[in-house]
Structure 1
Amino acid sequence: MQASTVPPQEPGHAGPHDLAARLSPNPTMLSESGLAVLVETAYRASLKREEGRYPSFQLFSPLAGGPEPVLDLRFSPPQPYCLSTLHRLSPGIPPGPYAFVVKEGPDGLRTEGVARVEYSGFGALRGRIDYHGGTLFPGLSLHVSAPARLRAVLLSRDGPAVYLELREGQLKTCHDNAFSPVFLPLCRQAATILSHGEDDAGALPSLVKATLARVFSLAVAAGHGGMFVFLPPGPHGACGTDGLLSPGVGVAWPNLGRVAQNLAAAGGNQAVHLEQWDTATRVTAHASCVDGAVILDAALSVLGFRVELLARDEDALPVCVALSPEASEPTVTGVVDMAAFGTRHRSAARFCARLPGAVAVVVSQDGEMREFVRLPDGRVGVCGPLVPMSVSAPVA
């Protein structure tokens, strides 16, 4: 077995103490010192090989005074939270959607057992549903996936989730796309079209968000990177793409908008429509793994995939600006140098600059998402990095 030590932190490099500090003050059952121990022990465990393998596991701490997940495996008595416990037990526990549930007592941290803290499909958790069709239990989730690589998600009772990732000595912040100033208008536009402008659209707006965000979530999970392009509404949307898109592979189904409509109208008889929804979102997501873009119209019907955006590399890059992911309306926070990004990102920027009303979503191989849209002044707004994960919202 390899000894576990936290290497000295180089100047400018982040470590477990930085991650713990960014999660404070925390609303969980853990004290600030307990949180620091939770993160540092997980970090140490990530560096220690057992039988030639590095561990992969997830930790979870519920909110103080909040609901607690049901323990699927209850330790009797609770195990001490320490390096030895994580290494001895983690090989027998699926890293996701399950997690070690950690609480704090008079004697320090203890591991109570194992619970499922991520839920897929439309299984309700206390009447709440996630935008991507799954639910993350309220609290702090800490996922160890590789040496010195930790991802933390802090989901409180109110407000957007906090996503932090410690990787390669860098501490990065991501934001949930469910609140972005590009994603929200896109969903509102689609829901308005699908409901024919009715004031009371019922569950449809939430299901539109769930449908799109689940597509993005599955595309991220596939790990190949990809691009989705949403055309502007009206007949000018498709006509305006002349000379901008290659034919690609045409598609007559799935129609994600129709699938969301079917599910919204299903009431208590959702089983068949849930299966249709699961299949439609899955095949749409994985179509993005093929080189080129997945093209959808404003009502979320998939028109094609393996479509090349024909904006040429020699064309001048448009002026691109960063949009705050925390603002409900497009709020410019600075200039973005698109020359520092890859081909997908540059193509998305050029395409959106030439087709007002279009939205492009680029998924990087490392799991980050960025959204592109042309602003009224002709500049291209870029929102990201984003993650399509785990903010719960009621189904109205």
Structure 2
Amino acid sequence: MQLSLEPDRDAGPAGPLELAARLTPNPTALSDAGLAALIETAYRASLKREEGRYPSFQLFSPLAGGPEPVLDLRFSPPQPFCLNTLHRLSPGIPPGPYAFVVKESCDGLWTEGVARVEYSGFAALRGRIDYHGGTLFPGLTLHVSAPARMRAVLLSREGPASYLELKEGRLTRCHDNAFSPVFLPLCRRAAAALSPRAADPGPLPGLVKATLARVFSLAVAAGHGGMFVFLPAAEPATGRAAGLLSPGVGVAWPNLGRVAQNLAEGGRNLAVHLEQWDTATRVTSQASCVDGAVILDPALSVLGFRVELLAREEDALPVCAALSPESSEPVPAGVVDLSAFGTRHRSAARFCARVPGAVVVVVSQDGEMRELMCLPDGRVGVCGPLVPMSVSAPVA
């Protein structure tokens, strides 16, 4: 089922009713009126402070006729879905990966209980690079994170999740990067660098995907913004890249590629390798919170952080093309004017233009992520805004 979730940055102010209207056709188990009531009540709750704090919570509605998540906390009796319920109960419920499960009856909306609606996806990704990861339960998840700010995430049975965010009175559509035309080739390239002679790399490509997805997800969750630079393998691009990077802080470990290889090999030390994977992805993501970029080689060894990209600010910005996040191939879908973006994005574009084969991932402080690469015609492709595919925790 296709939704009318077109980007709407310049269409004027928007509010909860506009958000509900854009989730059409409505695939959830709620009626159209129930869906509108769900979003409007959540919006009103986001504006009301309780004991000096604004609430943060998630709501979930399953697809019509679809499976329902198992309730980890079942209310007896079900609680009415209203402002008072959200304010009284939300402080006791983690906003993620859990959500209030909301149902509808002839008497209106009710809160049945609480269920986990986000999963690690790690086990599935161990074997398949073309798999979304199963990181969300099919249905509509509504995440309230700040006053008048909410994100609707709709996962149908057919494909990747779609995201529609209401922020600062405007609606913005984005996707996750599970199949993006920059992220997916980057994962394949890294897996090939790690096992160049393997006819069948086995679970390694999926593990590379899970590893990078977790790094990006944790970097976004940190809320500081950051940048990751993936160097090309081919000369002379590698030498050209070295001349455009400040020394920064050199790093000899972690090697994310080696960590992924350890997991791919399995064996009796799997628990040790999982713990190593957890630590390596955490420290790599946290390093991006320092000003400057995290630098990784083609085999995903971290070479340094707090590295400045030395492409000069006075140099003209390269021509940039928007890449469709709905295609796993780099399909230009318009022009991007990076002059309206911050220093990170502009320096990333200049770097990619001068170092073909490099990939730069920029994380904004507001949680948006963009992936940049040089296209064969010399333009810089920009894919985003994106939400990193969530790989929340290692699961054996």
Q: Percent identity?
A: 83
Relative to structure 1, the CA distance from residue 124 to residue 85 in structure 2 (aligned partners, 3 Å threshold; closer, same or farther) is farther
Amino acid at match of 2:244: L
Q: What are the residue-to-residue correspondences of 1:94-105 with 2, within 5 Å?
A: 94-105=94-105
Instruction: Give the direction of change, closer, same or farther, for the CA distance of 1:259–1:376 in structure 2 (3 Å limit).
Output: same
- Aligned pairs for 1:309-320 (under 5 A) are 309-320=309-320
Contact preservation (8 Å) 2:175, 2:325: yes
* Map 1:1-396 → 2, pairs under 5 A: 12-120=12-120, 122=122, 135-234=135-234, 236-266=236-266, 270-390=270-390
Aligned partner letter, 1:208: V
Q: What do residues 201-257 of structure 1 show as CA deviations (whole Å, max 9, x unaligned)?
A: 221111111111111111111111111001111454532323211111111111111
User: Does the 8 Å contact 1:224/1:289 carry over to 2?
Assistant: yes
The superposition leaves residues 316-367 of structure 1 with CA deviations (integer Å, 9 ceiling, x where unpaired) of 2111121111122111122222211111111101111111100111111111
DSSP-derived class of the 1:136 partner: coil
In the other structure, the counterpart of 1:8 is: none
Report the CA distance between 1:143 and its aligned residue: 1.1
Query: Residues 104 and 130 (structure 1 numbering): CA distance in 2 closer, same or farther, change over 3 Å?
Result: farther
Paired residues of 1:204 and 1:261 also in contact (CA < 8 A): yes
Amino acid at match of 1:175: H
Structure 2 residues without counterparts, runs of 5 or longer: 1-10
Partner-residue secondary structure (3-state), 2:314? coil
TM-score (norm: length of structure 1): 0.90
Distance 1:209 1:53, change over 3 A: same
Please give the secondary structure, in 1, of the residue aligned with 2:178: helix
Residue correspondences, number: 382
Task: Check whether the contact 1:103–1:110 (CA below 8 A) recurs between aligned residues.
Answer: yes
**Distance in 2 between residues matched to 1:70 and 1:375, nearest whole Å:** 45
Q: What is the DSSP-based 3-state SS (H/G/I as helix, E as strand, rest coil) of the residue aligned with 2:241?
A: coil
Change (3 A) 1:65 1:132: closer
SS class of match (2:96): coil
Cα distance between partner residues in 2 of 1:230 and 1:28: 40
Q: TM-score, normalised by structure 2?
A: 0.90
- For 1:257 and 1:48, how far apart are their aligned partners in 2? 46
Matches of 1:221 and 1:391 in 2, distance apart?
12
CA distance in 2, matches of 1:124, 1:333: 31
The answer to whether the 8 A contact 1:174-1:385 is kept is yes
Is the 2:130–2:179 contact (alpha carbons within 8 Å) kept by the matching residues of 1? no
Q: In the TM superposition, what whole-angstrom CA distance separates every residue of 1:137-180 from its partner, at most 9, and x where no partner exists? A: 22211111121111111112221101111011111111111121
Q: 1:117 to 1:167 in 2, by over 3 A?
A: same
Which amino acid in structure 1 is aligned with residue 305 of structure 2? F
Instruction: From the superposition, tell whether residues 131 and 270 of structure 1 become closer, same or farther in structure 2 (CA, over 3 Å).
Output: farther
Is 2:228–2:360's contact at 8 Å kept on the other side of the alignment?
A: yes
* Residue range with higher mean Cα deviation, 221-230 or 325-334: 325-334
Give distance in 2, aligned partners of 1:57 and 1:268: 40
CA distance in 2, matches of 1:129, 1:376: 24
C-alpha change, 1:355 and 1:338, in structure 2 (3 Å) is: same
Any conservation in 1 of the 2:223–2:367 contact (CA below 8 Å)?
yes
Name the CA distance, whole Å, in 2 between partners of 1:391 and 1:338: 30
Cα shift at 1:132: 9.5
Distance 1:23 1:130, change over 3 A: farther
Offset of residue 383 of structure 1: 1.1
Is this contact kept in 1: 2:16–2:43, CA < 8 A? yes
Q: Please give the secondary structure, in 2, of the residue aligned with 1:118.
A: coil
Q: One-letter code of the match for 1:188?
A: R
Cα distance in 1, alignment partners of residues 256 and 46 from structure 2: 40
Q: CA deviation at 1:131?
A: 7.6
Q: Which runs of 5+ in 1 are unaligned?
A: 1-10
Counterpart residue identity of residue 188, structure 2? R
Rounded Cα–Cα distance in structure 2 between residues aligned with 1:250 and 1:391: 27
